[in-house]
Amino acid sequence: MRDVFHEQLDAVFGDLATICGQVETAVCQATKSLLEADVEIAEQVISADVDIDRARVEVEEQCFELLSLQQPVAGDLRVVVAALRMVTELERMGDLSVHVAKIARMRVPDVAVPAEIQPTVSRMAEVARDMVARVEQIIVHRDVSAAIELGRDDEIMDQLRRASFTQVLGDDWTHGVEAAVDIALLGRYYERIADHAVSIANRVVFVVTGEDPRAAASEA
């Protein structure tokens, strides 16, 4: 009976990894629509979000079924609860990608990101995409070392966000308030994607070790 339960848990984590792949695609496509003012791609990202939402519901239903039928305790209960929280964060990452695509769509036929700040925004998008891709592998392999390393690398995103603020608030910014607001929002969206990736990685550490790396960091 427990073997069946653990097979079902493995299936849940497989589904979480699949959703990660969907989120990575959403981040890539939303960024492409943003930097190329491509309304068709933006619409695809927005429409495809329903698939991520549906996948979230399916994972939740699997978890609730495990809770009701298997009545897990201790470590097994920890895994199921972590999976529920992880799928919620993945769904939010998909929503953030949609927010990026909506900014792109709103500014078409213009490119929402002024040329001089495009390198910074592009780098933020790439860091976010890379973190999502790494989270997928962390989930698949339940890799504690990679999860801890991801948390350390989050500082790169924070530095990029600060750099974008410096550019927007500089005396040579000539693109007005509307563009400045767009850049501030985009920075927030990519930063939150990265934050969710780190949070999911931390949950994987908790699943494997029973210890919360955030608590350990605060104590240090």
CA max distance for the chain: 67
For 57-107, the DSSP string reads: HHHHHHHHHHHHHH---HHHHHHHHHHHHHHHHHHHHHHHHHHHHHHHHHH
At residue 93, what is the residue type? M
CATH of the domain at 180: 1.20.58.220
Q: Are 16 and 83 in contact (CB under 8 A)?
A: yes
DSSP 144-165: HHHHHHHHHHHHHHHHHHHHHH
Q: Which residues of the chain have pLDDT under 70?
A: 1-2, 214-220
pLDDT, residue 220, reads 43
Evaluate the CA torsion angle 120, 126, 91, 89 in order and state its sign: negative
Structure token digits, residue 175: 């693109």
Per the structure, the complete domain to which residue 148 belongs is given by 2-219
Q: How many domains does the chain have?
A: 1
Task: Kindly provide the b/e burial profile for residues 40-73, where b requires at least 16 CB atoms within 10 angstroms of the residue's own CB.
Answer: ebbebbbebbeebeebbeebbebbeebeeebebe
Task: Indicate the SS3 state at residue 114.
Answer: coil
Q: CB-hemisphere CA count at 13 Å for 123?
A: 14
